[in-house]
Chain A
């Protein structure tokens, strides 16, 4: 019997809210399968299982916040073991009054951040995509009932003729069967699930059932273009969003304070001639459609990733009083969130990606960071981080290292500036690159070598 625990999704994380279960008791999970979505103070992340086996019992309801390390579910390694463990586990679930949900989610917590922060367009979230893949559902044929037509987990489940959920029945027979979305909606709208006719598989109460059960239906939340404008949910959403920003700000504060207290930072700065890089980029982009174009930031990121590979003292973690260099370069990218705050998820193996792949990875990552859907590994893996504040006009940024990383690279604005060369004064496009690095691991000399390497690499953009 293994326990699935609330994982630590960052050096600063103390607790997390289980926002959605992506498995049910009876489901078979493999190592690496995404089983739940967890809301830290920073973002919602998909969390994978570290064990293989059958989900015997879910120990934490959706919407509940628990500390890191708290057991979330029990997983039995072999199917044979399920019968022994699942049966006694099923008993406490039996509600006192048949016909009522065992534990209805609390209204406020039930209006999870997934509803409060609608994605910019209608992307299919990774867990939903994964679920569809697991159930063999073709997403192209699924009608999205979520906000702005987003395809939800329920939509995918409905698209399955006979869902592979049969074993789950034995574990909670007396409950009113309902989808997570239905429970959320019901709590939000104050509707008793017992009074709703379920039209889902096995009579399951679904999100649309709840919407129908609500008497006058001026604007069903699932169909509204701008959920924020719905009077009933507007204040709740605004409050949730404000609270979220406050938590994110606190969390950033704690992490940065720890960094400044424990990491002896040193700072270096250099101005890099970008004439070759911008000329190359312009001619490359001229041939491309908008969707295929590469932004200068992608070149800077690629050069940084390659330099980090060459100068290992910049790339890795400092833990247990020792530096552990990383052979892989997982490049953290600081992404400013529109509601305030920032997250710095990783582009994995950025040093070995082609420039186009890195650009695609960057767009994907930024999009998901802003819509609040990142994966655990993306948040915990960065081995070095880049912050790029050039777009808003500052010339340089001296950042604070993200513990347990040991270096942070900052880029300012790409701009034309006077440039002396060979006794002549000219005008060149240039950028100021800075390095904040950990003195426990490296000295200024290595740091200088690192920035110089970035410079060298940017002089041959065609090789990036």
Chain B
């Protein structure tokens, strides 16, 4: 998966979880909690939506490193191919 695909999936998911956020003008460095004001339930739904679109299931241990839009896009892009292989060997 290219980073552009990952970005599209992440931004679409943010748009669903937080419809008031203008995803077109969103800065990649925006932090989920502090800047976008997502709570733990929102974050869970965000990951769930991303998983639905990309197949990337995020283990809880990785939550701590996923604090910004940028970090999640990078994570999804990196994990997508690995997940693809496990899902469809």
Contact = CB atoms under 8 A, between A and B. Distances in A.
A392 B44 contact: no
Contacts of B16: 120-121
Interface in B38-75: 38-41, 44-45, 47-48, 51, 57-61
Given A120-B17, A392-B34, A293 B60 contact: yes
Interface string B16-30: 111110000000000
B39 A362 contact: no
Interface in B1-40: 16-20, 33-34, 37-40
Contact of B18 (A290, A295, A338, A392): A338
B60 A286 contact: yes
12 contacts: A118-B19, A120-B17, A120-B18, A290-B48, A290-B58, A291-B48, A293-B44, A363-B41, A363-B45, A391-B40, A392-B37, A393-B33
A341 to B, nearest CB: 13
Contact of B51 (A282, A285, A290): A290
B19 A120 contact: yes
A345 to B, nearest CB: 14
A199 interface: no
Interface residues of B, number: 22
A68 interface: no
Contacts of B38: 391
A333 to B, nearest CB: 10
The 10 nearest A-B residue pairs measured at CB: A391-B39, A295-B40, A290-B48, A285-B60, A290-B47, A338-B20, A291-B48, A391-B40, A120-B19, A290-B51
A219 B33 CA distance: 34
A362 B58 contact: no
Interface in A100-157: 118, 120-121
Contacts of A336: 37, 39
A385 B58 CA distance: 32
Contacts of B33: 391-393
A126 B39 CA distance: 25
Interface of B: 16-20, 33-34, 37-41, 44-45, 47-48, 51, 57-61
Given A338-B19, A391-B33, 14 more contacts: A120-B16, A120-B18, A285-B60, A289-B51, A290-B51, A290-B57, A338-B37, A363-B45, A367-B45, A391-B39, A392-B34, A392-B37, A393-B33, A393-B34
A118 B33 CA distance: 23
Considering residues B37, B41, B45, which has the most beta carbons from chain A within 10 angstroms of its beta carbon?
A: B41
A282 B61 CA distance: 8
A366 interface: yes
A78 interface: no
A66 to B, nearest CB: 30
Main secondary structure of the interface of A (DSSP, over half): helix
A264 to B, nearest CB: 31
B7 to A, nearest CB: 18
Contacts of A362: 41
A297 interface: yes
A167 interface: no
Contacts of B47: 290
A339 interface: yes
Nearest to A296: B40
Interface string A290-334: 110101110000000000000000000000000000000000000
A94 to B, nearest CB: 43
Considering residues A295, A338, A339, A366, which has the most beta carbons from chain B within 10 angstroms of its beta carbon?
A: A338
Nearest to B18: A338
Contacts of A282: 60-61
Contacts of A393: 33-34
A338 B17 CA distance: 10
Nearest to B41: A366
B42 to A, nearest CB: 8
A392 B60 contact: no
A50 to B, nearest CB: 33
A330 B61 CA distance: 33
